[in-house]
Amino acid sequence: MRQDTTFRHLPAEVRNELITHAIEGIRDRAEGTLGCDLHNLLFNEDYYLIGRYEAEQWLIKVGIFNAIDTVTDYEQSNFGEVITDLSEPERVCNMFVYIVGEELLGELETLREKWDDELSESDIEVIVEELENL
């Protein structure tokens, strides 16, 4: 992945949106989930955005070509080919969020420690606190 596409280099508004999305999902659905499954729960089981126009507007905030480059690099590295339809803003947006969500959760020490464990209510509160401090 290109260095300038990391979570920390996104506009503050977008970082805050993604953190809020993660916190809401964790509080609503994460208890009892294995730490290693949290990313899938938050960023893969449902779409982040639905609708072409909404996705286009969101991609403008992060940089359309930045998002396309990130998706392309990630998929080439992980799958050996690009599988996302890059002509569909909704698909690019949701895949970009999936990738950035992986990076966001990768910064959480508690999640690394609880990777193979079911997340308890106290684990969730610590993870939420870590997210709020990013």
pLDDT, tens digit, 9 for 90 and up, residues 90-118:
999 999 999 999 999 999 999 999 999 99
pLDDT, tens digit, 9 for 90 and up, residues 68-92:
999 999 999 999 999 999 999 999 9
Domain boundaries, the chain: 3-132
CA neighbor of 26 nearest in space, from 134, 96, 123, 95: 123
Indicate the pLDDT class of residue 67, thresholds 50, 70 and 90: very high
Indicate the pLDDT class of residue 6, thresholds 50, 70 and 90: confident
Distance from C-alpha of 124 to C-alpha of 108, rounded to nearest angstrom: 11
Pair of tokens at residue 50: 């639905």
Residue 1's pLDDT is what?
A: 42
Please give the model's pTM, rounded to 2 decimal places. 0.92
Exposed, middle or buried: residue 87 (CB in 10 Å: 0-12, 13-18, 19+)? exposed
Average pLDDT in the chain: 94
